[in-house]
Amino acid sequence: PKLSTNTYVDDNERDVARDSLFLDSRENATLLMLVRNWELPGALSSMRSLEDRFNKRYRYDWTFLNDVPFDDEFIEATSAMASGKTAYGLIPSTDWDRPSTINETEFEAGLQLMREKGVLYGGSKSYRNMCRFNSGFFYKQQLLDQYQYYFRVEPDVQYYCDFPYDPFKVMREKHKKYGFVIAMYEYEDTVTTLWDAVEEFMADYPEMVDTKTNSYDFITDDGMIGKDMPVIQSNSMYNLCHFWSNFEIGDLSFFRSEPYQKYFELLESKGGFYYERWGDAPVHSIAVALLLQQDEVIHFDELGYYHVPFGTCPTAYNLRLQQRCVCNPNLDQNIDIKPHSCLTRWWKHGSGKYFMKHA
Ligand code: GDP
Ligand code: MN
């Protein structure tokens, strides 16, 4: 399109929207960060970015969770950075630490094996606690009881563009239960037997899985995987696609629902969070794909985001100007068009098009 300076620089309406406060139209929601005390600089950096790009106009509460008590410095600095209220929760040991049902010998053997294979975080015990917590316990924390929606934030992430809307409001108005910005392939070695457990779940609770309306096709493959992604080889039906959970906006009632509870209980009973290294991203994603309808899931196409080592940047030039983006969609700041992104699969097999496919 031909650029006219007026269109983009003197756009009054946009400037008003950028500076306005929307305190009266807020949703029942919180920004949520699981974080360690020593990650304070990264936490502040993420907060500053999200406050600038979105929250300063809404002043949503921030909720911080930790497996050890937050120190005074962390509390003071993050409270000063937040435009909204802040709350700090200590995670109970039962929600964080490795359960006694996990066999010590088998656990250590698994760690050793993954260390040798060079799997990312393969030898880490605390990473496994974190993944299990984010899979089955974050939504049970008392501080979250009062909220319907959460927006997960991690230290050291960046939001590349102004938010053109309140994503919580979009969630409620469009009846969405889960929102993401990046989808990609998981390392197979971390989830070797996850799909076996999922198949058991589907056999036990067939009434909870509606393949006519869900996104089953997004996460499964019939041997076509080599075509989309030559490097990835999956040994099961699961094609390793998952929503990158370091950015996620969710409806807590989904995670608190009976189907998700049954799903998590079954996974937990297998011990794969410890014997393997099941990540909360594939665990959430498989649940979202199986238990929700396609049109209850939203891809926030307009939001720019970066978490090392991947980012996403809106492709529309006008949008990038209007939203003051600081990213270039043609550089490595955009995973969406690369072969290790699952987004093209989502466009094909997700995104609420089931009614056309099954018509
Ligand atoms: P990655 O994104 O997979 O590389 O893993 P991160 O190290 O970023 O961890 C994911 C999230 O969990 C981040 O918000 C971390 O701050 C948080 N986290 C990871 N391990 C721990 C831990 O042992 N304790 C606490 N309190 N938070 C953790
Ligand atoms: Mn991270």
ipTM value, please give it.
0.99
**What's the pLDDT tens digit per position in 4-59?**
444 444 456 666 667 789 998 999 999 999 999 999 999 999 999 999 999 999 99
The torsion region of residue 121 among left (phi > 0), alpha (psi -120 to 50) and beta comes to left
359 burial via Cβ count (<10 Å: 0-12, 13-18, 19+): exposed
Distance of CA 358 to the CA centre of its chain: 28
35 CA from centroid of ligand 2 (Å) = 10
22-91+137-156: in CATH 1.20.1740 = no
- Nearest protein Cα to ligand 1, atom 21: 130
Could you tell which of 32, 36, 150 is best to mutate to test the pocket of ligand 1, judged by most ligand atoms within 8 Å of the CB? 36
Residues 6+ apart with CB under 8 A from 188: 232, 233, 234, 235, 240
**What's the pLDDT tens digit per position in 108-120?**
999 999 999 999 9
- Nearest protein Cα to ligand 1, atom 28: 35
Distance CA 169, CA 198 (A): 32
Distance CA 106, CA 48 (A): 43
- Take residue 342 and report the two structure tokens written for it: 């699952």
Side-chain half-sphere exposure of 270, counting CA atoms within 13 A: 22
Q: Rounded mean pLDDT of 116-126?
A: 95
Q: Which pLDDT score, from 0 to 100, does residue 35 have?
A: 98
Q: Which residues are catalytic?
A: 248
244 CA from centroid of ligand 2 (Å) = 10
Task: Tell me which residues have their CB closer than 6 angstroms to ligand 1.
Answer: 34-36, 39, 66-67, 126, 130, 154-155, 246
- Nearest protein Cα to ligand 1, atom 16: 35
| Atom number, ligand 1, closest to the C-alpha of residue 156 | 8
- Take residue 242 and report the two structure tokens written for it: 């998952």
- Rounded mean pLDDT of the chain? 91
317 CA from centroid of ligand 1 (Å) = 34
| Atom number, ligand 1, closest to the C-alpha of residue 126 | 23
**What's the pLDDT tens digit per position in 239-288?**
999 999 999 999 999 999 999 999 999 999 999 999 999 999 999 999 99
Distance CA 301, CA 181 (A): 7
| Atom number, ligand 1, closest to the C-alpha of residue 279 | 3
- Asked whether 104 and 141 are in contact (CB, 8 A), the reply is no
Residue with the bigger pLDDT between 246 and 338: it is 246
Helix (H) or strand (E) holding 90: strand 86-90
| Atom number, ligand 1, closest to the C-alpha of residue 67 | 26
Residues 6+ apart with CB under 8 A from 283: 131, 135, 194, 264, 267
Distance of CA 349 to the CA centre of its chain: 19
Q: Which pLDDT score, from 0 to 100, does residue 233 have?
A: 56
Q: Rounded mean pLDDT of 290-295?
A: 96
44 CA from centroid of ligand 2 (Å) = 14
pTM above 0.95, yes or no: no
Report whether pLDDT(358) > 70.
no
Flag the least confident range among 85-94, 284-293, 339-348. Answer: 339-348
Residues around the ion ligand 2 (C-beta < 5 A): 154, 246
User: For tokens 């990038």, what's the residue?
Assistant: 320
- Asked whether 285 and 218 are in contact (CB, 8 A), the reply is no
Report which of 102, 166, 156 is spatially closest to residue 128, judged by C-alpha positions.
102
Report whether pLDDT(335) > 80.
yes
Report which of 75, 70, 5 is spatially closest to residue 44, judged by C-alpha positions.
75
CATH homologous superfamily, domain 112-125+158-359: Spore Coat Polysaccharide Biosynthesis Protein SpsA; Chain A (3.90.550.10)
Percent of the chain with pLDDT over 70: 89
In the chain, residues under CATH classification 3.90.550.10 are: 112-125+158-359
- Take residue 102 and report the two structure tokens written for it: 């996990």
Distance CA 326, CA 304 (A): 9
66 CA from centroid of ligand 1 (Å) = 10
Q: CB 312: neighbour CB atoms within 10 A?
A: 29
- Asked whether 198 and 135 are in contact (CB, 8 A), the reply is no
Q: Which pLDDT score, from 0 to 100, does residue 359 have?
A: 36
Q: Which pLDDT score, from 0 to 100, does residue 18 have?
A: 73
